A and B are shown apart, each in its own frame.
Chain A
Amino acid sequence: MREIVTIQVGELANFVGSHFWNFQDELLGLASDPESDPIFRNNNLNMDVLYRSGETQQGVSTYTPRLLSINFKGSLGSMSSHGTLYNQGSSSRSDSSKTWFGDVDTQRSEPRKRNLFQQTLYEEEAQAEIEDKDIVGSLEETVECWTDFSKSHYRPQTLYELNGLWMDSQDFNNYGAGKDLFSEASRGEEICDKLRFFVEECDHIQGVNFLVDDSGGFSPLAGDFLETMADDYTNVPVLLYSLRSPVAQKKTVINKLHDAVSFSRLSSFCKLFTPIGLPSLRGMKYLNLGDEKPYRSSAVYAAALHSSTLPFRMQHTSSDSTQESNAMDVNTLVQLLTNRGRQNIVAILDSAMPAPTLAAKQLEKTLLTNLQALTPEVAEDVEDNQSVESMCILGALRSEDQEATVSEVRNAVDASYDEQSRPLFCNLSVSRVPLPVPLPFPSIFGNLVGRRGEILSSPASDLMCRGSLDVHSVPVATRWRSSSAVLPFLESRMVNLEKLGIQWGAVGSDVVRTWGFGREELQEMRENLAKMVSELSPHQFLESSDSD
């Protein structure tokens, strides 16, 4: 068994994570439900990779994510900081537990009301009259915290809140704001202890999925945490996802410097760095997304995360089964993308949700043309014959109402590559299990999306947005790309660091100093960025042949 530990740092990371765990929870439910589609019942996925079994002190057995979530104090909303399973009995304050015989001054915060969805989770059958329609509606209106729409159970070790911050979240928007967070007040030690709980019980950990909203003060926290992890778990590969919400992307001097510094620092502690977060999500095909609500935008990212990491959980079988093909472990993916020819650790993530049906060729709806980059600052239409790709396709449909077989998917991908230039190398993983759409999934599908995620030729209803009540599952395709198309992303960071932070008289030189970076550190960062850029630059090949 090759376990994965997931870490979510920051607001958006936890929103994405919440959706991600909802998908897993849905898959678990469907797998054990005798009435569900056989595809879900025999999904051939090893959920133990992400989950651990345990039991509470009362002897109730539990199955919970191997997850560490770090966020602001108060960000858990109506959920207890001990999670949802392990706090029975702790709230009753018996006399034997009194540690002080003097006066008690009780300060009670206004209780956080559970929304309709949470009420149904806690009260089980008691309120059967609450209709799904109302729940979906209320979620769209009321979601504030990631816990509001989460249906998964969490352990006490999973949740970590940063207290004593004394700052508004809008002031927490740059590297300096979180500079000493990890080292202060033994926070680092507490965080590492929580992580150790999960890693210790792993027999053979394959890697860490590290989701971080690094647009502000969580970046230095994540950097320090990763640095400690690199010491403690030297050979455990870290896949880092840098997540940005659309609204967080205004570009002031501070933002630009922050992005450069944050990228430099975080990328030095991971094996694969995947930036996710478009300036606007309005252009996503077949989806109806605004940019304001993290509840909605995070759902798209979560689906891509689920799909791209699914090969890590496929059962290793000697020959390709009919259910899925090409299981991979984290290390194999890392070596594939970063170590074939060019040393590039920054990957582009593309996604198509819903993925088009294989038969629908007439409108150029091939799989490849439907993939849209979720990574910002990526060049389009780049001819890069050195690029390396790893694609994962879940639950593809042959036609509107038929699932495609694994080999059909393979052939279709092959065929669509005939129309485009082929990458140097492409790995394809296929699973027949589509993405299940859980009840608390936001209504983000456009009205051309059918019940099984098929693309309809005419609108299914007048409503512009379809959600979990109308769409039960969707096929998803994602692709990791190591390509020179990521150059604009790297170059802007390199240029900004030089121009705003290093150059003589640079506007931001004082700022980066208060963030704790000396001149030499900055220059080293710039050199590393330059190295990354030159590795991918098309000219680099020519130069080296000149010198020969």
Chain B
Amino acid sequence: RRKALNLFFVDSDLSSSKMSVRVLNPNAEVLNKTAALHMTINAAKGLQDVLKSNLGPKGTIKMLVGGSGDIKLTKDGNTLLKEMQIQNPTAIMIARTAVAQDDISGDGTTSTVIFIGELMKQSERCIDEGMHPRVLVDGFEIAKRATLQFLDTFKTPVVMGDEPDKEILKMVARTTLRTKLYEGLADQLTDIVVNSVLCIRKPEEPIDLFMVEIMHMRHKFDVDTRLVEGLVLDHGSRHPDMKRRAENCHILTCNVSLEYEKSEINAGFFYSNAEQREAMVTAERRSVDERVKKIIELKNKVCAGNDNSFVIINQKGIDPPSLDLLAREGIIALRRAKRRNMERLVLACGGEAVNSVDDLTPDSLGWAGLVYEHVLGEEKYTFVEQVKNPHSCTILIKGPNDHTIAQIKDAVRDGLRSVKNTLEDECVVLGAGAFEVAARQHLINEVKKTVKGRAQLGVEAFANALLVVPKTLAENAGLDTQDVIISLTSEHDKGNVVGVSLVDGEPIDPQLAGIFDNYSVKRQLINSGPVIASQLLLVDEVIRAGRNMRKPT
């Protein structure tokens, strides 16, 4: 038989003696095959239990209260996993896969965990009946390939040319957002999310979601969250005489140090007298002033004969003497801008990011109709708005407290990813469990027959595991899961592609209800779930040295 996998959980200090010593370590604890498998399956089920109630628009939100009284509210599997202290090695493997799912496709963390959990549950049944895990795993592999093929025939293509179908984008975004936020807020954010992705989208280029800045203010209410066409920066000018509001602004985006720095050569020099020191300082200062003057020259050039304003947003520092000079000329200056904002500013306002004052030309300047500062306690925000033809924008999240903001932020991130995925996939998948039921029926009715021998049972286990999604959706909505599954499968057998309505448990057409999922999320899920489940099933022995697995503490 093929070499089975061992899972080693070994204390990582590899002593200078050889590897084999570790395996023979008398303190190492060895669990045999059956015990190892059951430990693994239980861990997978345990993690599934924790996350199950999150799934879907009827799931429960989790409020985590930390030991020091900190509150975290989340409905996002990804956030929840990261908040958990997971110790069990199997659970860690599953959690890592689920988090990777989120990194790659932007959603589907909870689904991944419950799918893997369900695959393990179905396998347990077969193994208890005497089946060898290897055979099951072979069945999984066949079923996985068949399901991926089926997904490609099942998906709904959408055309995303120069004028993408905004309605379908909204439906996908809404489907995601409604699983994270209450309907009213979800629907409000749907438009924001879709518009912001369309704003940053450029023909023939991959969508870079970082060009949507997500800024938050602890202020007012969640419904005050809005899309700013332009940029919001989390800092303001550092000079009392600079204007707090300006119209018709030339924007200089630059990465030029406007602060006095002792140059390396002179710093170690110990001045023999005060005059000498003074002279050195003056010389250093002069070169900074030169740079500031060049900027002022440009300002005078473009603002001559009009009442336009001039705004500098610099990635490097600007020290008080430089600020003084600039303020005297009526220039607004911000220092230490985020590196990513250099890129965003140029995309929002036009012009280019300047790295040296020698490159200054009027063409390098961007434009904003309005720049103003908003102060909240000690926090300052600078709004750069009324820009022409922006390719970068800001989603400004407002909420009365940190945990509300954090939750909206998570939801917005997922929403953005779902829109990006749709634009890039150029297709969507019918939601509300419709795909899972259809795929299950396909596997049972078509694929299983073509498989020889006991691997059939693996295909069947896989097929049944797919049903965990509609089952959990129904369960979380307080419906009878048996009834729901029976009515769904019989509709599908009649040739009607339906999902479950979480209002009354009746079959609905997801197309009409506007419930769509991302193709890439589903694809990733079907790909990674069985891989991890197979690895876990083929664990033969669990060996752990160094620490006792059943710690008394």
Given A89-B401, A104-B61, A163-B82, check contact A173 B67 (CB 8 Å): no
Binding site for A on B (CB under 8 A): 11-16, 53, 58-71, 73, 75, 81-87, 92, 95-96, 99, 103, 181-182, 185, 218, 221-222, 235, 238, 257, 259-262, 264, 267-268, 274, 315, 317, 319-320, 335-336, 338-339, 376-378, 399-404, 407-408, 547
B19 CB to closest chain A CB (Å) equals 10
**Is there contact, CB below 8 Å, between A200 and B400?**
no
Whole-angstrom distance between the Cβ of B201 and the nearest chain A Cβ:
22
Contact A105 B60 (CB under 8 A): yes
B236 to chain A, nearest CB (A): 10
List residues of chain A with CB under 8 Å of any chain B CB: 54-57, 59, 73-74, 76-82, 89-91, 93-94, 96-112, 163-164, 166-168, 170-171, 173-174, 176-177, 185, 193, 196, 199-205, 231-232, 235, 250, 252-255, 318, 331-332, 334-336, 339-340, 507-508, 511
Beta-carbon contact of B408 and A94 below 8 Å = no
* A511: chain B residues within 8 A (beta carbon): 14
For the complex, give the distance between the alpha carbons of A163 and B66 in Å: 13
B69 with A82: CB separation less than 8 A: no
CB distance from B239 to the nearest CB of A (A): 11
Do the beta carbons of A185 and B99 come within 8 Å of each other? yes
Chain B residues whose CB sits within 8 angstroms of the CB of A176 once the complex forms: 12
Q: Is the CB of A340 within 8 A of B16?
A: no
A80 close to B68 (CB less than 8 A)? yes
Give 24 CB contacts A-B under 8 Å. A56-B378, A76-B68, A80-B68, A97-B399, A102-B60, A103-B60, A105-B60, A105-B63, A107-B65, A109-B67, A111-B69, A164-B81, A164-B99, A167-B92, A177-B12, A185-B82, A185-B99, A203-B319, A232-B315, A253-B13, A253-B15, A253-B16, A334-B267, A511-B14
A99 touches B268 (CB 8 A): no
- Known contacts A112-B67, A205-B317; is A252 also within 8 Å of B13 by CB? yes
The 8 Å CB contact of B268, one of A73, A110, A340, A507, is A340
Q: Other CB < 8 Å A-B pairs besides A81-B68, A166-B95, 4 of them?
A: A98-B182, A99-B61, A201-B238, A252-B14
B68→A252 contact, CB < 8 A: no
Give the Cβ gap from B215 to chain A, nearest Cβ, in Å.
11
The 8 tightest CB contacts between A and B, nearest first, are A335-B268, A164-B82, A112-B67, A200-B336, A103-B60, A100-B61, A57-B377, A54-B378
The reply to whether B67 and A104 contact each other, CB–CB distance below 8 Å, is no
Which B residues touch A56, using CB under 8 A? Answer: 377-378
Chain A residues with CB below 8 A from B81, complex form: 164
Q: How far is the CA of A175 from the CA of B346 in the complex (A)?
A: 39
Knowing A97-B400, A100-B75, A105-B62, the reply to whether A507 touches B16 (Cβ < 8 A) is: yes
Tell me which residues across on chain A come within 8 A of B400, comparing CB atoms.
94, 96-97
Residues of A within 8 A of B59 (CB): 102
| Residue of A79, A99, A200, A507 touching B404 (CB-CB under 8 A) | A99
Which of B16, B60, B377, B404 touches A97 (beta carbons < 8 Å)? B404
In angstroms, how far is the closest chain A Cβ from the Cβ of B364? 22
Which of B66, B83, B338, B402 has the largest count of A CB atoms less than 10 A from its CB?
B66
| Main secondary structure on B side of the interface with A | loop
CB <8 Å contact, B338 and A59: no
Cα of A255 to Cα of B336 in the assembled complex, Å:
39
A132 to chain B minimum Cβ distance, whole angstroms, is 25
> Which of A110, A167, A340 has a CB less than 8 Å from the CB of B67?
A110
Query: Knowing A57-B376, A91-B71, A166-B92 touch, does A97 contact B401 (C-beta < 8 A)?
Result: yes
User: Which residues of the partner chain A approach B15 to less than 8 Å between Cβ atoms?
Assistant: 252-253
Which chain B residues border A102 with CB–CB below 8 Å?
Answer: 58-61, 182
Which residues from A are CB-within-8-Å of B222? 97, 99
Q: Are B260 and A204 in contact (CB under 8 A)?
A: yes
Chain B: minimal CB distance from A139 (Å): 18
Check if B99 sits within 8 Å of A235, measured CB to CB: no
CB distance from B283 to the nearest CB of A (A): 17
B261 touching A339 by the CB < 8 A rule?
A: no
How many angstroms from the CA of A508 to the CA of B59 in the assembled complex? 49
Q: How many angstroms between the C-alpha atoms of A200 and B407 in the bound complex?
A: 27
Give the residue of A106, A109, A168, A332 whose beta carbon is less than 8 angstroms from that of B87: A168
Which chain B residue lies CB-closest to A507?
B16
Bound together, the chains give a CA A231 to CA B340 distance in angstroms of 13
| A55 vs B547: C-alpha distance when bound (angstroms) | 48
Q: Are A255 and B399 in contact (CB under 8 A)?
A: no
**A332 in contact with B267 given A57-B218, A185-B99, A254-B13 (CB within 8 Å):** yes
Known: A57-B218, A99-B181, A332-B267. A253 touches B62 (CB 8 A): no
| Nearest CB in chain B: distance from A53 CB, A | 9
Distance between Cα atoms of A253 and B13 in the complex (Å): 8
**How many angstroms between the C-alpha atoms of A164 and B74 in the bound complex?**
15
Chain B hits for A76, CB < 8 A:
68
Contact status B235-A200, CB under 8 Å: yes
**Minimum CB distance partner of B100 in chain A:** A184
In the complex, the answer to whether B274 meets A318 with C-beta atoms within 8 Å is yes
A139 to B67, CA, bound (A): 20
Tell me if A112 and B65 are in contact (CB < 8 A). no
* Chain B residue with the shortest CB-CB distance to A235: B261
In the complex, residue of chain B having the shortest beta-carbon distance to the beta carbon of A109: B67
Query: Which A residues are CB-close (under 8 A) to B92?
Result: 166-167
List the A side residues contacting B259 at CB < 8 Å.
204
Residues on B with C-beta less than 8 A from A90 are 71, 401-403
Question: Once the chains bind, are B267 and A80 in contact (CB under 8 Å)?
Answer: no
* Closest residue on chain B to residue A177 by CB atoms: B12
Q: Which residue of A has the minimal Cβ distance to B338?
A: A196
For residue B240, give the distance in angstroms from its CB to the closest CB of chain A.
13
Q: Which residues of B contact A250 (CB under 8 A)?
A: 13
Nearest CB of B to A486, in Å: 20
Please, which residues of chain A bring their CB within 8 A of the CB of B376?
A: 57
Q: How far is the CA of A73 from the CA of B82 in the complex (A)?
A: 10
**Taking CB as reference atom, which chain B residue is nearest A228?**
B339
- A111-B67 CB under 8 A given contacts A99-B182, A100-B61: yes
* Shortest beta-carbon distance from B521 to chain A in Å: 18
Bound state CA distance, A111 and B82, in angstroms?
A: 20
Residues of chain B with a CB closer than 8 A to A173's CB = 12-13
Chain A residue nearest in CB terms to B91: A166
Chain A nearest Cβ from B262, distance in angstroms: 6
Most buried by B among A102, A110, A254: A102
How many angstroms between the C-alpha atoms of A278 and B97 in the bound complex? 41
- In the bound assembly, the distance between CA atoms of A375 and B376 in angstroms comes to 46
Which B residue's beta carbon lies closest to that of A331? B267
Q: Closest CB-CB distance, A174 to chain B, in whole Å?
A: 6
Among A81, A90, A94, A110: residue with most chain B CB under 10 A: A90
Residues of A within 8 A of B262 (CB): 331
Distance of A331 Cα from B378 Cα, bound (Å) = 30
Cα A202 to Cα B30 in complex, Å, equals: 57
Alpha-carbon distance between A80 and B66 when the two chains are bound, in angstroms: 9
B182 lies within 8 A of A74 (CB): no
The residue of chain B having its C-beta at the shortest distance from the C-beta of A232 within the complex is B339
Interface contact A254-B267, CB-CB below 8 Å: no
Cβ-closest chain B residue relative to A93 = B71
Complex interface: chain A residues within 8 A of B66 (CB): 81, 109
The residue of chain A having its C-beta at the shortest distance from the C-beta of B259 within the complex is A204
Given contacts A90-B402, A164-B81, A80 and B70 within 8 Å (CB-CB): yes
B10 to A: closest C-beta gap in Å: 10
Residues from chain A with Cβ under 8 Å of B264 in the complex: 335
